[in-house]
Amino acid sequence: MESGIHIVAEGLKFPEGPVAMADGSIVLVEIERETISRVTPEGTVSVLKEVGGGPNGLALGPDGAFYICNNGGFLFRTVAGLNRTKPGVHPRYTSGRIERFDPRTGDLKTLYDHCGEYPLRGPNDIVFDHDGGFYFTDFGKNRLRERDHAGLYYGRADGSIIVEVAYPLTTANGVGLSPDDRVVYVAETETARLWAFDLEAPGRARRHPYPSPHGGRLICGLPGYQRFDSLAVDEEGNICVATLVTGCITVVAPSGEVLRQVTVPDGMVTNICFGGADMKTAYVTLSGTGRLATLNWPQAGLRLAYS
């Protein structure tokens, strides 16, 4: 099923992490360009900040600043006409990190590059709760012959604390919260599995027993060769996951039922967010073709904590 795609902007360098702003613009990251960029409703693109590395995920925090998952840098190649990442380490890679960018002052600083004794490898996606903290995934790095384990983490916006919520995951990518902040969802790219972590308190999940590999609760997995990327949650609590290869948004109920798949014109659709006065406009990043698109969505999206 495909419905009413409208292309807002083209020429983006692997866009991800869209954030719908009150003025109708979208702020997103361009991983290959290594920037935070703004797209106006008319499609004009401007760079807000050159951040370096690989800005991968973006969220507005309680202080009006942007919080960035920086994976440290990707390598890129063209496959079947689509821009894609490839295994290997960026020549200027130093670490993964969580950064804070203040658009009022232009200040950019690193909040976290370790959790305890362990360095962050490749932070990917981020979502804030209503308590002033955020969950983020660390995808790890894909080298030529080996790959890192992935993890789910929680940090405070003031830089005071970071904790590990779940480890190890496999290529943890999209992350989102249920409407009541009691469940955090994580989508794994290579397994196309969607996991739920039931929260006892901010940053602390109740562990489900064996055979869960990390304490999460399996929601669903897709058949065939499909891959999950980032996600957003609608106001009914359904999880809307950008699905690679198939080129669609997969809508999953909290029970695990796959409700529908909404196709889009790019097999590298990576992110979805909601905006508009009624929250029924879906913004999707078509990263393989470097475009930002909109489509009408039948359910309103969940309004994020500090949007």
Is 278 annotated among the ligand-binding residues? no
- Identity at 82, one-letter amino acid code: L
Is 229 annotated among the ligand-binding residues? yes
CA distances from 163 to 14, 117, 137, 154, 167 (A): 30, 11, 12, 5, 11
By the 10 Å C-beta count (0-12 exposed, 13-18 middle, 19+ buried), 91 is classed as exposed
Identify whether the C-beta of residue 8 lies closer than 8 Å to the C-beta of residue 41: yes
The span from the CA of 163 to the CA of 155, in Å, is 6
Is 142 annotated among the ligand-binding residues? no
Q: Which of 125, 129, 138, 229 is catalytic?
A: 229
Nearest to 17 by CA among 76, 81, 132, 98: 98
The span from the CA of 287 to the CA of 78, in Å, is 12
The span from the CA of 254 to the CA of 274, in Å, is 19
The span from the CA of 272 to the CA of 52, in Å, is 23
Q: Is 229 tagged catalytic? A: yes
In whole angstroms, what separates CA 307 from the centre of its chain? 15
- Output the known binding site for a divalent metal cation: 173, 229
Residues annotated in the binding site for substrate, as ranges? 124
The set of catalytic residues is: 229
